[in-house]
């Protein structure tokens, strides 16, 4: 399935909030800060939903500048620093590269359980797979785009014993 169809189906399954919350700044400013563009399905999802919490479980933030000046780049470097410190201590358990390392894990969401969801940033952004850095289990890669992953999870079509059933899925500004 292509990302546009997956996003359309996701929007039909879980309509965006009526008053989404958007960050400041432009996508171009963020892409320049990161040194890469982000996947088009992520940009389209944020343009539709804004910063959003799905079923009070998964938060996906608008990556542009917030009211305090923080961006995805700043957040990703902080998460990357934490990840690298864990990897230095337990290399067998922390196998991902961390942003901004080549192919590094770039987070786009987190759960109330402390899990980080993101991409492994190798190759073209629109083909970056979803990666999960969970708090209490093994990290893993799910070879789907973000829109395909969210649609599969929220519709129940993606079977993953580590992901909770959120049905019925709702959303609210976050």
Token pair recorded at residue 108: 């786009």
Give the pLDDT confidence of 72-118 residue by residue, as tens digits.
Answer: 777 888 888 888 998 899 999 889 999 899 999 999 999 999 999 99
Query: The domain containing residue 121 runs over which residues?
Result: 3-173
pTM of the model: 0.90
> In which band, very low, low, confident or very high, does the pLDDT at 37 lie, cut at 50, 70 and 90?
very high
CATH of the domain at 57: 3.40.1580
Count of structural domains, the chain: 1
Any residues with CB less than 8 A from the CB of 147 and at least 6 apart, and which?
A: 3, 6, 7, 10, 41, 44, 45
pLDDT class of 1 with cuts at 50, 70, 90? low
């Amino acid at each position: 399935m292509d990302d546009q169809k997956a996003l359309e189906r996701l929007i039909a399954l879980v309509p965006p909030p009526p008053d989404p919350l958007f960050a400041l700044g432009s996508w171009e400013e963020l892409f320049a800060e990161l040194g890469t563009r982000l996947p088009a399905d992520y940009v389209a999802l944020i343009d539709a939903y804004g910063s959003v919490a799905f079923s009070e479980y998964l938060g996906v933030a608008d990556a542009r500048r917030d009211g305090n000046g923080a961006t995805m780049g700043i957040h990703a470097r902080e998460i990357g620093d934490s990840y690298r410190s864990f990897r230095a201590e337990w290399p067998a358990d922390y196998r991902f590269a961390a942003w901004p390392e080549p192919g590094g894990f770039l987070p786009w969401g987190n759960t109330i359980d402390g899990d980080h969801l993101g991409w492994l940033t190798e190759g073209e952004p629109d083909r970056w797979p979803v990666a999960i850095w969970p708090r209490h289990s093994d990290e893993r890669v799910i070879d789907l785009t973000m829109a395909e992953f969210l649609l599969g999870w929220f519709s129940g079509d993606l079977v993953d014993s580590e992901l909770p059933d959120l049905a019925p899925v709702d959303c609210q500004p976050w």
